[in-house]
Structure 1
Amino acid sequence: MAATTSTTTIVVVLVLIHVIITNSATINSGSISPNFTASHYLFIENSGDFLRSINRNYTAAIANSQPTSPSFYLLIYHTASHAVVWAANRNTPISSSGQLSLSSTGLTINDDNGKPVWSTGPIGSMITALQLLDSGNLVLVDQFNKTVWQSFDFPTDTIVPGQKFPVGKFLTASVSPEDFFAGEYTFTLTSADGLLQWQRLTYYKLSMDPKSIKDSDRPVSYLMVNGSGCNLFSNPGSEIAINVMMTSAVSDYRILKISIFGSLVVMRYTNNNWVTDFTTPADSCRAPLRCGKLGLCSAGGCSCPPGFRNDPNMNSGCSFSDDSLKLPESCGPQLGGFVYVPLGAGLSYFSVDFTNPVRNNVGLSSCEAICSSNCSCLALFYGNRSGSCYLIENHLGSFISSNNNNNNGDDVKLGFIKAISLTNQDNSSVSDFPVIGLVLLPASGVVLILILAIWMSRRTRNCKMKPSSKKLVDHPDPYSDDLEMFFIAGLPVRFSYEDLVWATGDFSTPVGSGGFGTVYKGVLRDKTAVAVKKITAFGSQGHKEFGTEIAVIGNIHHVNLVRLKGFCTHGRDRFLVYEYMNRGSLDRTLFGPGPPLEWQERFEIAVGTARGLAYLHSGCEHKIIHCDVKPENILLSNDMQVKISDFGLSKLLSPEQSGLFTTMRGTRGYLAPEWLTNEAISDKTDVYSYGMVLLELIQGRKNCGHAQTHGSENPNTGPQGQSSGSSGSENRYHARSFYFPLQALEMHEQGRYLDLVDPRLAGRVTKDEAEKLVKVALCCVQEEPSLRPTMANVVAMLEGTLPVGTPRLESLNFLRFYGRRFNEPSTAVTGEEVELPSGFMVSTAEKSGTGASGYLFSYMSSTQVSGPR
């Protein structure tokens, strides 16, 4: 009897296992409901396929690129050809047991440990289905069958028939056929053209191809590919702006793709084979990295330029044949100076066709001097007849041989690679003068002449001052010679001191305080309102920062960055003249007594600030790190324009320098943890500060505050933790503090996002709106800089073009430590207390730096470096 029971049990178990396997292997048709889970392992009998469109045109699968690859992705592929047209987690693959989960809140991909590596982000409605349409679009729909998310909004490297590819979107090539990871080549659409780019540099335009015909002058709105070809359309009316001519085959299936080699191709699937209808650029040598770094591309293939050899340390590319030469590795001083290795006649470089020369009508030695003074410059091209000087900065790609070189007329451009001579470093006292002197002496003569001319002009200008202002010029200016160099560079206008006295009414209308000084409202003689920041120079450091701010702000222009109109020097005082923002700084509006900012206004401020920082980090010629992001440095106008100000603490970095900048600067409460751990400071330091500002926008008050306790909560404590009826001396002994970032973390863990919103906005903010900003803020303030998003990705998350990331709790645990220390009343361990500049109290035992308390004191005191701003 027992044996029969055992046998029956085994049979039942086997049947159940068979049922589970059979059900798990079923490929769904058209739609899937929430509470669905898929992995390659669960659907292994169907090679990971779990969903097909109704007419079986497309299939969704958890699959790998090659049968032997351990990396798996959520893919959509064309069923008939098995061509992958979309990959969700292309940069974060999972294993065969990693899972895709569909819930009522969205779609998520988790790794083996259950940690999310990709998601659709928060959706404003409850999800009722995941659908794969016959167009190839993967969509999430709500209870009203309305599409609330779609894969077409996040293309990878392919556009399918009928898919609209709008202006501002981009395709990114994969690194190889076996790896879906995003590579360096991109295709983006602008209102004027389609651009192929490498390292943000354009190397070809779609309109340059002979098959591209411009049919209209109207701006481009979107690109679409179908059976009849590929066209760029303008709205309204969907009029063709640019038509790409190719063989008509309406019944065939066509796709547009950016290849791993940097070309844009249109392929057609016909008779069970892929046929290429269009490839641009037709000349493969136009791809910037076709033959690797410093390689030479020609019709015969890849080789090395004269004086170079195959680099044994690289899969492709070349290096100097002379072992005594090497490429510059940083922007620091180079012993022995630079030498310039000629590439020989008949070689060209892609960027020369798409950039303007930095200088015209100069000699070769002057062009070399310009490159030598620019640490980002790695090579140059010089127009032998025109005297034009082109710089190649930050990255080096391949060169093109004479057979592919398209010179303008007889103005042959000669290329030179910037190098450091190791021999010169060993004998710098002997060899420095011939190399550097021959380059710099001719240029120095020009500079001296310019300085003399400007000095004469300035002297004449100062002589025209009114007698009543004579007392204003009695102070010597020991730094004027250095500042003349900024004037020579053609940067902002240099005002006379008399101009600013007249404009500001003798500095009678202060409107705020900024770095190192006071800001005054003024009106120039042309009726333009300005903000004049008066800076009292603190020795050489203050002077240096003044010069840095002029050089940085004067060269950048962005709608979310304050515009520097000019500057002035007078004795030891320095003045910066900005455009006037009539609503003042964000801290006044956000923390002041007036009506609260509405949520949409706060959101627009968050987006505008993020855009400005993204431009500083990746849109300028050099990376710029602000280093002091805070509400006081975010300015507003009456029409809610948002502009970032105060670049006095900015650092202009090249890629070589970005890991070397470790000087501590900033303001208490916004400094990232890496300031205290001697880690390299990067653009992710600004991201941290931005996250702290975003938390303050959410709650409408400072992240850190104090309340009197005297053993219990003070009934007179105001809504922001400030006492409304006690003196500062009473705060000295028993201060109780709060730390909002910790509260944000705790409410995030509990999903109570509305509890974090400014209570004055109660009922006017949705949970989804609050959740979006809280999650973005927490992603920004993660302790590990590499986990923080870039500011460009922050903009994308806020604008909805990129799913909102999920902050990692283990990288936010440091907030618990900070929060606990902030929330503990200060007590004396040794009976003696020390008062910190901000009003915080700490015992001498804590100040000695022992244990966690010492770390907190280090954190607290280090943030005072720049003082109150």
Structure 2
Amino acid sequence: MAAILLLLLFSTFHTTIAQHGPANISLGSSLSPTNNSSWLSSSRKFAFGFFPEGNGFLIGIWISKIPEKKVVWTANRDDPPLSSDATLHLTVDGLILQPTEGQEIPITTISQSVSSASMLDSGNIVLYNSQMKIIWQSFDYPTDTLLPGQQLVAGKELYSSVSETNHSTGKFQLIMQHDGNLVQYPVVPSLMAADAYYSSGTLTAGDNVTLNLGDDGHLYLLNSTDFYLKNLTNARLPANQSIIYRMTIDVDGIFRLYSCLNGNNNWSIQWSSSNDKCDPKGICGLNSYCTLNDEQSVCSCLPGFDFIEQDDQSMGCQKNFTSGSCQSQKEACLGDCNCEAALFIEGQCRKQKLPMRYGRRKLDDSTIAFVKVGTGIITGILIYRHCVWTYKKISNQGSMGLTEDIFLQSFSYDELEKVTEGFKEELGKGAFGTVFKGTLSDHRVVAVKRLEDVVNEGERQFRNELTVIARTHHKNLVRLLGYCYDGQNRLLVYEYMNTQFGMKERISLGIAIGILYLHEECETQIIHCDIKPQNVLMDKDLCPKIADFGLSKLLKPDQTRTFNGVRGTTGYVAPEWYRRLPITVKADVYSFGIVLLEIICGRKNLDTNVSMDEIVLVNWVCDCFEKGELDLLNADEEVDKKTFERIVKVGLWCIQNDPSLRLSMKKVVLMLEGMVDIPVPPSPTSFLSSIIAS
């Protein structure tokens, strides 16, 4: 215990000293990619400024004392590369980027005036106010790397990069969860226990656990009282000023602790979360599987499938086929048109659907897999012995690598134009595009959604959206049957459902789509700031319209937050307004969550004409949800039980006190439409109750 206390005191002392370096960057200082491109720390160990990326430049921090500059932090990492004419300025408003064309882009968002800045020898760039207090630091916004003295606090995450030369957000994330567990997931789908592929095993440690990297390469977890919780590394390494340590979640999804000597390019791996490069789920994409070859991961397609992108095999595989019929087949799988594969495991046959995700091949397994492959009108059977697609389970909710999902067919734009007779019959218009009715060659009726402005938003957004939808399947959900990825055309093909939403569901969805438009689809992002029932009007067709923009806040391009006095109506105002925290679009999400619960429960959020336990709707909903007594909220059964529970879960996610836990409005819309599964939400504390009590 004495050694532990000494370690903690040393770490705390060193961190305190490191954060008070000289203010060596004065107001008015500027950088450009081609002239005075970086600010160095006092020992020249780290540099902040412009670095080459693709056909342009990004802004970040890198280790400068080694020949190959290693980037450890990136600003606005998902923005397109900058031209050589861009300029970065230190102003009273923070670090401001001036592109060649367009408006200024803030690199930092702060509420106080900046007096000076420093690039510290710890690798942390900091901004000071006039009292020389730190008001912003890059250590609070990690990207894919932790440096000695830096913490990953509860609710924060690291994201892998796309590649060693592309520092945009990649496929994997490491999250310090609010339950005390340090967990790794694939980025899409996210935060589902069965999708985790690494866990620190500290699930019961409680909130405010932090991941820490010491100066000696000691990687460890502390709880909320700074009590030493767990050592992730086997032992402390030599504390030597000439040794540089970093912890990075790498492109392959494994996070590793590295060390190297100053002036040396040879990074040595001191510790890694896994030695198996096939462990990260989704490393090979849909309909492909991972095998180890000389400890390196190799992606392969299922029989009858080809890589979507030969140069990027992590994109997964699509079926290479000509549609056939399964009507005449007698065998169990061939007789089931919904079955695309079968596994024979320990004497039992399990039918499966595609796409397969998290594929893994183990050579020492006796499982036999049968994969159905269309070859004209003849269906062939390929038998693969000694193959099983499995993954290591983090929870008891894990499942086989061949999951019960849907099969995605690839269509050309011309095919879908023919299927819909030139997009003649419009079924509806939503937040993401227009839906048309069509008929496939096998006489199945389908709904074809033609996405709009997808190319302008970039390839990443389309692929992520397609992946999210493709990985959800339930007998009560509309099935995604296929997609079109043809030139600039992006379309999704769904099973046609000749049903209508109920009244409450339709109104809730309409409000959500309206807020989504303000948040993500307007040229200027808008925070409404006063979402409440009185500001939702209904037209003659009972279509909800959001009104009253008197309190709305328009954000600057690439600005994600603002600082203002309290706006809105008591009972619908998010907690961060009263706590003088930065305001983001998540404030509207909170207000929408309250409205959603009011709509589905048919009463106001605050009602003094009921029993004490039911006065505050949020408290009552939480109590009923935790006790499994939602029938008390849905007494008239105007909405079926499963739909009611789904909408309540969405509402509870929206009203989380921590804005980072709340859903985005895009995710809200997808959940209300039944397009994605909804995990069980944590229980939020009613902020309205605290206001009433005070």
Of 383, 396, 399, the match for 2:345: 383
Q: One-letter code of the match for 2:583?
A: K
Give 3-state SS (helix, strand or coil) of 1:741's partner.
coil
Q: Which residue of 1 aligns with 2:143?
A: 156
Displacement of 1:655: 8.8
CA displacement, residues 602-644 of structure 1 (integer Å, 9 cap, x when unaligned): xxxxxxxxxxxxxxx97997399xxxxxxxxxxxxxxxxxxxx
Q: For 1:73, give the aligned amino acid.
A: L
**In 1, Cα distance between equivalents of 2:165 and 2:236:** 30
Correspondence 1:314 to 2:310: yes
In the alignment, what sits opposite 1:181? 168
**Residue 276 in structure 1 maps to residue 265 in structure 2:** no
Q: What is residue 4 of structure 1 aligned with on the other side?
A: none
The counterpart of 2:222, out of the listed 229, 233, 239, is: 233
Report the AA paired with residue 315 of structure 1.
D
Equivalent-residue separation in structure 2 for 1:765 and 1:396 (angstroms): 38
Q: Could you tell me which amino acid in structure 1 is paired with residue 211 of structure 2?
A: L
Counterpart mapping for 1:438-477 below 5 A = none
**What is the SS of the residue equivalent to 1:772?**
coil
Partner of 1:740: 548
d(CA) in 2 for partners of 1:136, 1:339: 67
Q: Please say if residues 87 and 98 of structure 2, whose CA atoms lie closer than 8 Å, have aligned partners that are also in contact.
A: yes
Alignment partners' CA distance in 1, 2:140 and 2:327: 48
Distance 1:215 1:686 in 2: 36
1:291, 1:297 within 8 Å by CA — same for their partners in 2? no
More helix, by proportion:
1
Say which of 96, 102, 116 aligns to 1:114: 102
Match of 1:423 among 371, 376, 385: 376
Which of the two has higher C-alpha Rg?
Answer: 1
> Corresponding residue for 1:85?
72
The 2-side partners of 1:147 and 1:365 are apart by 67
Contact 1:307–1:322 (CA under 8 A) maintained in structure 2: no
Looking at structure 2, the residues matched to 318 and 187 of structure 1 have their Cα atoms a distance apart, in angstroms, of 19
Amino acid at match of 1:70: N
Q: CA deviation at 1:159?
A: 0.8
Alpha-carbon separation, structure 1, partners of 2:572 and 2:281:
52
| Cα contact 2:535–2:546 (8 A) shared by 1 | no
Q: Separation in 2 of the partners of 1:192 and 1:765?
A: 25
User: What does the per-residue CA deviation read over 1:184-231, in whole Å, with 9 as the maximum and x for residues that have no partner?
Assistant: 122223423442536346463255xxxxxx899745812222314322
Structure 2 unpaired stretches of 5+: 1-20, 382-426, 428-466, 484-490, 540-544, 593-649, 665-694
State the shift of 1:164 in Å: 1.1
Gaps of 5+ in 1: 1-27, 208-213, 327-333, 341-363, 435-540, 542-616, 625-649, 676-681, 707-736, 782-790, 806-869
User: Offset of 1:414 from its aligned partner?
Assistant: 3.9
* SS of the residue 1:127 aligns to: coil
The answer as to 2:292 corresponding to 1:298 is yes
CA distance in 2, matches of 1:99, 1:797: 39
1:325 aligns with 2:321: yes
Structure 1: distance between partners of 2:343 and 2:516: 31
Query: What's 1:725 paired with?
Result: none
C-alpha distance in 2 between matches for 1:765 and 1:189: 21
Q: Distance in 2 between matches of 1:285 and 1:760?
A: 49
**Does 2:83 match 1:95?**
yes
Counterpart in the other structure of 1:197: 186
Matching of residues 400-799 of structure 1 within 5 Å: 400-402=361-363, 412-417=366-371, 421=374, 423-424=376-377, 622=472, 652=478, 654=480, 656=482, 659-660=492-493, 671=510, 695=528, 697=530, 701-702=534-535, 740-741=548-549, 744=552, 772=583
Q: Deviations over 1:388-422 (max 9, x none)?
A: 859676564553241xx5x6xxxx44445465x25
Task: Describe the SS at the equivalent of 1:285.
Answer: coil
CA-to-aligned-CA distance 1:765-821 (integer Å, 9 cap, x gap): 98996983589769x99xxxxxxxxx99x989995769xx9xxxxxxxxxxxxxxxx
Deviation per CA, 1:288-336, whole angstroms, max 9, x where unpaired?
A: 455666255232564747846864852255999999737xxxxxxx862
TM-score, reference length from structure 2: 0.51
SS class of match (1:174): strand
**Aligned residues of 2:576 and 2:582 also touching (Cα < 8 A):** no
The equivalent residue for 1:258 is 249
CA distance 1:279–1:379, change in 2 (3 Å) = farther
Task: Count the aligned residue pairs.
Answer: 458
For 1:85, what is the secondary structure of its paired residue? strand
1:700/1:285 Cα in 2 relative to 1: closer, same or farther (>3 Å)? Answer: closer
Partner of 1:170: 157
Give the equivalent residue in structure 1 for 2:58: 73
Aligned counterpart in structure 2 of residue 60 of structure 1, from 35, 43, 48: 48
Deviation at 1:239, TM superposition (A): 1.2
* Partner Cα distance (1:393, 1:117) in 2: 43
Judge conservation of contact 1:692–1:703 (CA < 8 Å) in 2: no
Do the aligned partners of residues 148 and 365 (structure 1) sit closer, same or farther apart at CA in structure 2, a change above 3 Å counting?
Answer: farther
Equivalents in 2 of 1:228, 1:173: separation in Å? Answer: 20
Q: What letter is aligned with 1:622?
A: T
What displacement does 1:284 show? Answer: 2.2
CA shift for structure 1 position 257: 0.8
Aligned to 2:441: none
Aligned mates of 2:206, 2:572 — CA distance in 1: 41
Letter of the 1:279 partner, please give it: S
- 1:183 Cα deviation after fit: 1.2
Q: Distance in 2 between matches of 1:205 and 1:310?
A: 30
* Distance change in 2, residues 1:315/1:392 (3 Å): farther
The one-letter code matched in structure 2 to 1:294 is: S
Offset at residue 124 of structure 1 (A)? 3.0
Q: Distance in 2 between matches of 1:41 and 1:687?
A: 34
- In the alignment, is the contact (CA less than 8 A) between 1:307 and 1:320 conserved in 2? no
Residue number in structure 2 paired with 1:597: none
Pair 1:399 & 2:390 matched:
no
Shift of 1:281: 2.0
- Relative to structure 1, the CA distance from residue 85 to residue 759 in structure 2 (aligned partners, 3 Å threshold; closer, same or farther) is closer
Kept in 1: contact 2:26–2:115 (CA 8 A): yes
The offset of 1:238, in angstroms, is: 2.6
CA contact under 8 A between 1:253 and 1:268: conserved in structure 2? yes
> CA RMSD for the aligned pairs?
6.0
User: Distance between the aligned counterparts of 1:174 and 1:655, measured in 2?
Assistant: 31
The TM-score with structure 1 as length reference comes to: 0.42
1:125 Cα deviation after fit: 2.6
Q: SS where residue 249 of structure 1 aligns?
A: coil
1:60 CA drift (Å): 0.7
Return the offset for 1:276: 1.8
Q: Which residue does the alignment assign to 2:601?
A: none
Residues 700, 34 of structure 1: alpha-carbon distance in 2 compared, 3 angstrom cutoff: farther
1:152 aligned counterpart, secondary structure = helix
Once the two structures are superposed, residues 399-449 of structure 1 have per-residue CA deviations (whole angstroms, 9 ceiling, x without a partner) of 3241xx5x6xxxx44445465x2534xx8xxx89x9xxxxxxxxxxxxxxx
Task: Evaluate the alpha carbon distance shift between residue 149 and residue 670 of structure 1 in structure 2; reply closer, same or farther with a 3 A threshold.
Answer: farther
Residue 642 of structure 1 aligns with which residue?
A: none
CA deviation profile, 1:619-676 (whole Å, cap 9, x unmatched) = 997399xxxxxxxxxxxxxxxxxxxxxxxxx96565957945799978689858999x
- Alpha-carbon separation, structure 2, partners of 1:303 and 1:683: 37
Identical-residue share of aligned pairs (%): 15
SS across alignment from 1:232: strand
Indicate how the Cα distance of structure 1 residues 150 and 797 shifts in structure 2: closer, same or farther if over 3 A, else same. farther
CA separation of 1:230/1:401 partners in 2, compared to 1, >3 Å: closer, same or farther?
Answer: same
Task: Give the 3 Å change call, closer, same or farther, for CA 236–400 of structure 1 in structure 2.
Answer: same
CA distance 1:325–1:78, shift in 2 (3 Å):
same
Contact 2:155 2:660 in 1 (8 A): no
Give the deviation of 1:234 after TM superposition.
2.8
Separation in structure 2 between the aligned mates of residue 229 and residue 692 of structure 1, nearest angstrom: 43
